[in-house]
Structure 1
Amino acid sequence: MEAQELHRGRLIDHLQLVVADLAASRRFYGAVADALGVPIGGEDETYFWIDELFVSSADSEAALGKLTGRHHLAFQAADPAMVRAFHAAAIAAGGTDNGAPGERPYHPGYYAAFVLDPDGNNIEAVYHGEAARSAASVKITF
């Protein structure tokens, strides 16, 4: 058996959104993932994923026929230019502006943009300013 390797974030192991129109969500999240430099994986007719975010249709096995409600999800961006690219790509792919790129008062250096996805989820890209990370991701090998 070949070893598999996953890279995971700092706090959330994974999040699933169950959406009404998987194709519209694939276009939206595909554009967002491209802008953020994150690959999409696991695509089939009922789901796909981006890092820790799993997006599925209501008829996927995990969804049990139910759509999720409105969520707020923030992706990490490497710099303000990536936040601006996220916002432009998300709008071009069918998202609705929910806060143009700019500094926010949450803490010094917090630069973010917000877009509603096709299901009304509030999706954010945030750059936290100049800071040192202990690691780019948690590496899991099994």
Structure 2
Amino acid sequence: MDATRLHRGRLIDHIQLVVRDLEASQDFYTAVLAVLEIPVIGTTDGYFWADELVVSSAESPAALGALTGRHHLAFQAKDHATVDAFYRAALAHGGRDNGAPGERRYHPGYYAAFVLDPDGNNIEAVYHGEARRNAPSVVIEF
């Protein structure tokens, strides 16, 4: 993954979470993102980042002293085993169960696990299954 390449047209440019305990969050996110093969690529005294996710303390100048509210972030996983490993890593690093790994009813093949991070954000790892993964892309023309 080239985390330094700017890709125009992506839906999300970046997401910032402002947390109470930066050290606890860094331990949690470093562990779960490693399972998903997403490296933490930078750290400073007030924040760290991985791909387009920035996690900062309330004392960080970018946070303006305010914590962010509760969010739901879903990370893509490459297979069922990665979802399972994500769940185990999250629980071992300060996460709390919010839905054990398993098939969900969203669409056939949707396999996911949900955990609450140290600040109560609902963090998900999802594998969409081979049928969905190999489906042709839909192009909408205007």
Q: TM-score higher than 0.5 here?
A: yes
Specify which structure has the higher proportion of helix.
Answer: 2
Asked if structure 2 preserves the Cα contact closer than 8 Å seen for 1:38 and 1:51, the reply is yes
Counting only pairs closer than 5 Å after superposition, residues 61-76 of structure 1 correspond to structure 2 as 61-76=61-76
The one-letter amino acid of 1:15's match is I
Partner in structure 2 of residue 6 of structure 1: 5
Q: Distance in 1 between matches of 2:5 and 2:42?
A: 13
Deviation per residue, 1:53-92 (Å, 9 max, x gap): 1100001111000000100000000001000000000000
Deviation per residue, 1:24-64 (Å, 9 max, x gap): 00000011011111110120110111111110000111100
Q: Distance in 2 between matches of 1:34 and 1:41?
A: 11
- Total equivalences in the alignment: 132
Q: 1:52 and 2:52 equivalent?
A: yes
Moved more, 45-54 or 99-108: 45-54
SS in 2 for 1:62: helix
Specify which structure has the higher proportion of strand.
Answer: 1
Identity of aligned residues (%): 69
Asked if structure 2 preserves the Cα contact closer than 8 Å seen for 1:20 and 1:57, the reply is yes
Partner in structure 1 of residue 37 of structure 2: 37
SS in 1 for 2:113: strand
Given the two structures, how large is their TM-score scaled by the length of structure 2?
0.86
Could you tell me which runs of 5 or more consecutive residues in structure 1 were left unpaired when the two chains were aligned: 135-142
Partner in structure 1 of residue 106 of structure 2: 106
Deviation per residue, 1:80-119 (Å, 9 max, x gap): 1000000000000010000000000001110000000000
Could you tell me which runs of 5 or more consecutive residues in structure 2 were left unpaired when the two chains were aligned: 137-142
Partner in structure 2 of residue 140 of structure 1: none
Partner in structure 2 of residue 21 of structure 1: 21
TM-superposed deviation, 1:133:
8.0
Moved more, 123-132 or 81-90: 123-132
When the two chains are superposed, the root-mean-square deviation of aligned CA atoms in Å is 2.0
